[in-house]
Each structure stands twice: as C-alpha cells, then as structure tokens.
C-alpha cells in the first residue's frame, strides 16, 4: 500500500514538474504577484480606515412632521455625493475608499433614538442633506452609545441575539417602497399614508429596562455602472422574446419595478440587528417579534427579506 502511495505521489510530482518547466512557472509567478498585491492593498486600505475620524449624531425629528416620504428619498439622493472616483494614486498608493455611513434606530429600555454615524470629513454634506429636507429636525453630536460597553461572551450576565437581513432574490429586484404604503382614498376623500416603520417602532417600545435593541443600516454609494447592467439583463430575461402585449401582468410589474429602480442612485447596504439584555430579563423567544416588522417590506411579486445568519435560540 505504501509503495502504491509513493508511486502516485511520484506521478503527481512528475506532472507538476513537467507543467512548471514548460511555462507553468509563469502562472505561478502571476498568482504570487496577485496574492502579494491583495495583501498590500488590504494593508493600505486598513491604514486608511484607521485614520478616519467619526462623528455620531442623535437625530430628533419634530413632533409634527408634515414632510413626505419623498423628502427622505431626497436625502439619499444627496448622500450619493459621497461616491468618489478615486485616481489610481489615491486608490492604490493612499488606499482611499468610498465613504460609508451608518443609520441606526436604537432602543434602550424602550426609549427610542435615531442615530447616524458619519466620517467627520463629510459631516457638512450629511448635515446639509438632512436640514435641506427637514428644516425643523435637531442633530446633536453625541458619544457612541456602545463606546463604554465591553461584552464578554464568558460572562453569563448578558445574553444576545444578532443577525443580518438579506434579500431572497437578486438585489436588483426591489422590495416594497414607500409609494406602495399610500392607501386608497377613503369615503371622506382623504389620503392616508401607512408608516412602514410603525411596526418596528412598536416592537422597540416593548423592551424591558434592562434590554437593548438596535437596527443598523450601513450604506455606501456605488457607481451606476456597477449594478445597472445586471438590472437591465434581468429585465430582458423576464421579457424574453415575447412582445410586451404578450407578457403577463405580474411580469410586466416586475419589469416596471426594475426599471423604476434604475432611476435611483445605487447604494451597497447591510441591515444588522442586535438584541441584548441581562440574563434575568432576556426573552429568547423575542426573535420572531423583532424580525416580523420586516415582513411589511416583503412582496410576493418583487423582493423579500430573510435572516441571513444569527445564533439559533431553542
């Protein structure tokens, strides 16, 4: 058996040497250069990220907010100005990256706060985006609410649940947007708007004084070309070879939704959830309660959210 193993190893070594000696070394050198370049790029980008200073704001909306959801959409359009086409020197010598920011809804014992964490260099742009669309809001600089908290997994005093929401379909397929939460006119001819965040905020108010819950939305603007071609390709696949009149109504809606999304600026995003509390009050069965508000954004015809990962609670 050992002789057979040695024979096989010898054959493999012979083939490897033949390939290496007949030009395979070029591929090896190119692979080595690629690996070293990636290590170098990761190093300079890490140094750049560590050099950034961050500012954290608490946003206090006015008690009576007469602005529409359209104003919130305008904020994100303006925040897309954070996207930069770096020069080769800035990207590969200085390690510069496109700025990103974190939008968070936090509940400490049932008290809800709206928090935004931004690169200090870009705070004027972010402030201008918010005040231009919501002149009556307050933006107060605060410390990071977790800056003085140290979690020790070996300490049984605390328990936590964390996860990340992901899409069930291709990201170019949209979820339900704010336009779909405008209800039909009622008998009194008034137009009522359903707040899609209401279920989430209701959950946030139901926490014990010793519990903490946060939803974090991290966004980073991307260039239009990075996702537009994929969206156009999916729309073409849905249409197939049929004339538009021959396409069924649901497929028409899906194509129209994709093309409507093409008119929006693109952001690479992550949605993270964290539920934490002392062991005596932590509700292990509350996971479904915290995930349920995301169902209002799901659509059988378009896209949906699901939990991407997280510790399993029996």
Distance from C-alpha of 277 to C-alpha of 251, rounded to nearest angstrom: 45
Residue 159 CA to residue 283 CA, distance in Å, equals 9
Q: Are 107 and 205 in contact (CB under 8 A)?
A: yes
Closest Cα partner for 274 from 105, 148, 156? 105
Higher pLDDT, 6 or 42: 42
Helices (H) and strands (E) in the chain, counts: 9, 8
State the DSSP code for 183.
Answer: P
Give pTM, 2 decimals: 0.77
User: What pairing do the DSSP bridges indicate for beta strands 158-167 and 267-278?
Assistant: antiparallel
Q: What angle do CA 144, 148, 149 make, to 5 degrees?
A: 105
Strand blocks (E) in the chain:
54-60, 101-108, 111-119, 138-142, 158-167, 211-221, 267-278, 305-309
CA distance 162 to 196: 22
**CB contact at 8 A, 124 and 149:** no
pLDDT in tens, 207-257: 778 888 889 999 998 886 778 888 888 888 888 777 767 788 888 888 888
Angle between helices 225-239 and 249-262 (to 10 degrees): 170
Each residue's pLDDT tens digit, 59-94: 998 777 666 677 888 888 888 888 877 888 888 888
Count of Cβ atoms closer than 10 Å to residue 303 Cβ? 20
Residues 26-47, mean pLDDT to the nearest whole number: 88
- Classify the C-alpha dihedral 135-137-139-144 as positive or negative: negative
Contact 199, 293 (CB under 8 A): yes
pLDDT in tens, 156-193: 787 888 889 999 988 888 888 777 776 544 444 455 55
Measured CA to CA, the distance from residue 3 to residue 205 in angstroms comes to 71
Taking a C-beta distance cutoff of 8 angstroms, is the pair 211, 275 a contact?
yes
Per-residue confidence (pLDDT) for residue 187, from 0 to 100: 47
Mean pLDDT of 137-162: 80
CA distance 57 to 116: 5
Distance CA 31, CA 136 (A): 56
């Amino acid at each position: 058996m050992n002789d057979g193993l040695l024979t096989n190893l010898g054959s493999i070594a012979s083939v490897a040497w033949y390939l290496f000696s007949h030009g395979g070394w070029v591929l090896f050198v190119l692979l080595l250069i690629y690996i070293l370049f990636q290590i170098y790029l990761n190093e300079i980008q890490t140094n750049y990220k560590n050099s950034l200073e961050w500012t954290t704001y608490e946003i206090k909306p006015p008690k009576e907010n007469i602005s529409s959801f359209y104003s919130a959409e305008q904020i994100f359009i303006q925040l897309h100005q954070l996207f930069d086409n770096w020069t080769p020197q800035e990207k590969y010598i200085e390690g510069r990256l496109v700025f990103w920011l974190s939008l968070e809804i936090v509940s400490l014992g049932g008290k809800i706060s709206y928090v935004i964490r931004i690169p200090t260099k870009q705070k004027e742009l972010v402030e201008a985006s918010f005040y231009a669309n919501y002149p009556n809001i307050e933006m107060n600089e605060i410390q990071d609410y977790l800056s003085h908290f140290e979690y020790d997994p070996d300490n049984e005093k605390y328990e936590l649940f964390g996860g990340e929401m992901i899409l069930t379909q291709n990201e170019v397929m949209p979820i339900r947007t704010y336009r779909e939460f405008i209800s039909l006119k009622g008998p009194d001819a008034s137009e009522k708007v359903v707040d899609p965040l209401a279920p989430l905020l209701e959950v946030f108010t139901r926490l014990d004084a010793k519990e903490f819950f946060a939803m974090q939305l991290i966004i980073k603007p991307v260039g239009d070309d990075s996702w537009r071609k994929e969206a156009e390709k999916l729309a073409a696949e849905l249409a197939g070879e049929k004339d538009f009149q021959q396409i069924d109504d649901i497929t028409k809606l899906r194509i129209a939704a994709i093309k409507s999304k093409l008119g929006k600026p693109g952001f690479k995003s992550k949605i993270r959830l964290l539920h934490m509390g002392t062991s005596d009050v932590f509700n292990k069965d509350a996971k479904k309660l915290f995930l349920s508000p995301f169902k209002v954004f799901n659509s059988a015809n378009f896209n949906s959210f699901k939990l991407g990962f997280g510790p399993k609670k029996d």
